[in-house]
Amino acid sequence: MNEFVEQKVALTWTEPKATYDVVIVGGGGHGLATAYYLATRHGITNVAVLERKYIGSGNSGRNTTVIRANYGIPEAVRFYQRSVELYATLEQETDRWIMHKEKGLLWLAHTEAAVRAERARAEINTKFGARTEYVGRKEIAEICPQLDLDGAGVWPILGGSYHPAGATARHDRVVWALAEGAMKRGVHVHQNTAVTGLVKENGRVVGVETTQGRIGAGVVVSAVGGHVTSLGNMAGLRLPIRTHPLQAYVTNHYEMNFDAIVASTSLLFYASQTARGEMLIGAEIDPQPSYSYASGDHFLQSCSFRAMTLLPFLRNLRVLRQWTGVCDMSPDYSPIMGKTEVDGFLITTGWGTWGFKAIPAGGEQMAQLIATGETPELIAPFSLGRFAADRTLADRGSAGTH
Ligand SMILES: Cc1cc2nc3c(=O)[nH]c(=O)nc-3n(C[C@H](O)[C@H](O)[C@H](O)COP(=O)(O)OP(=O)(O)OC[C@H]3O[C@@H](n4cnc5c(N)ncnc54)[C@H](O)[C@@H]3O)c2cc1C
């Protein structure tokens, strides 16, 4: 956080207390949203969010900001649709301009199998509340005239699905709005405070060791993004998560008429235009698990080549910035939220390459779980226990980045 931001949003910093009812580890979107909804929906404000660097320094400040609910299984469609709805009113609710904008999301199909997949996506989305329609080449050309429908003669576009609620919001503004909303109601956010250990008594987690000293806790929530296996280790849990880097980049400015968000699973890239006019492009995770934040030429070359196959105008643009985040990838490409076998230790993880869109609903549901002690129906399918029970979710195709 810098002075400019602090003047714009009312963040009040305090000394850590000896103990809190709830300690949330990680000042990304999910940690802050959990605190925000605890305070606003349940009046629980004796809460601390501990962030090892500055809020939004993890993936919540590094993503490509796509919000959508066009997932492939009913459980996921319902959950992400809730998030789409909460995002749509977050600006009004927090009285902060998060630059939320509905753009519509076009998911392209280049093969007969992909056409069938997009038709099925449209059906299942609409049935479970997230309107999506199958579109042909003519409609695709109207939605995004910059597309080369012939795919450079290599990847012709045969059809696609169109999800009108697809949107973007400025990522760091989302983080700041949630932090401000929580802090205004009495939640403490402590930056530069890394959790280095968990304090356990009789098998229950009762606090955290931090670089600023020990803090007691009624409940500890891990919301640490790609670093979750370290927190899990501290609790004595082996989590089914691998951490993979994910890179993205922006180009210099293009005329402001690229309105939709465009994605192609076959070509493993997606693109949208930022409010400044840059083309913002993302792709699949790096194949090698790692905690490295390094960005590389290989990614740029390979991703740009694929993107230019469909968007030839990109040839005339230059890469302006490139960056990387580290993603908590679960085996079934779905989140993991809720209680663990360790008493007093909850997790919200497995957000991989898709967790920005989930921030409001993830926070809302985790807050409800903490407040009531009961797992809300909306997130019950995403429990950690599903792996041991052999009930993993069949939604890998929805990530669009593998
Ligand atoms: C390049 C890229 C593009 C993406 N694009 C999209 C997209 O378009 N749409 C989408 O929905 N999702 C996208 N994602 C994924 C999304 O950004 C993440 O899933 C989401 O931000 C996760 O939020 P989080 O709060 O769980 O984690 P984070 O935002 O990573 O926050 C975790 C925080 O925990 C802190 N922390 C870690 N260890 C400790 C510790 N020991 N003590 C204290 N604090 C600690 C970290 O510093 C960090 O600030 C993208 C990700 C990347 C990297």
If one counts the domains in the chain, the total is: 2
- Give the model confidence (pLDDT) of 293-352 as tens digits: 999 999 999 999 999 999 999 999 999 999 999 999 999 999 999 999 999 999 999 999
> Which H helix or E strand runs over 243?
strand 242-253
Q: Between β-strands 105-109 and 159-163, what pairing exists: parallel, antiparallel or unpaired?
A: antiparallel
Mutate to test the pocket of ligand 1, among 353, 359, 395 (most ligand atoms within 8 A of CB): 353
Asked if 246 and 309 sit in the same domain, the reply is yes
CA of 57, closest atom in ligand 1: 49
Ligand 1 centroid vs 347 CA: distance in angstroms? 14
Which of 290, 313, 329 marks a domain boundary? 329
In percent, the amount of the chain with pLDDT more than 90 equals 94
pLDDT at 2: 52
Q: Is the pTM of this model over 0.85?
A: yes
Residue 226 sits in a domain whose CATH number is: 3.50.50.60
Asked if 248 and 235 sit in the same domain, the reply is no
The answer to whether the CB of 355 falls within 8 A of the CB of 64 is: no
**CA 178 to CA 96: how far, in whole Å?**
9
Q: Residue 23: pLDDT band by 50, 70, 90 thresholds? A: very high
**CA 189 to CA 55: how far, in whole Å?**
9
CA of 248, closest atom in ligand 1: 1
**Structural domain of 46:** 3-62+171-240+332-399
- Is residue 3 over pLDDT 60? no
Closest Cα to atom 49 of ligand 1: 58
As for ligand 1, residues whose beta carbon falls within 6 Å of it are: 25-31, 50-53, 57-60, 62-66, 194-195, 223-225, 227, 246, 248, 282, 325, 327, 351, 353-357
pLDDT at 13: 87
The answer to whether the CB of 401 falls within 8 A of the CB of 353 is: yes
In percent, the amount of the chain with pLDDT more than 70 equals 97
Asked if 291 and 369 sit in the same domain, the reply is no
Ligand 1 centroid vs 30 CA: distance in angstroms? 8
Ligand 1 centroid vs 33 CA: distance in angstroms? 13
DSSP-derived 3-state class of residue 174: helix
pLDDT at 397: 78
pLDDT at 12: 83
Instruction: Give the type of residue at 348.
Output: T
Mutate to test the pocket of ligand 1, among 87, 356, 359 (most ligand atoms within 8 A of CB): 356
- Is residue 80 over pLDDT 60? yes
Residue 90 lies in a domain: no
Residue 112 sits in a domain whose CATH number is: 3.30.9.10
Asked if 234 and 264 sit in the same domain, the reply is no
pLDDT at 401: 56
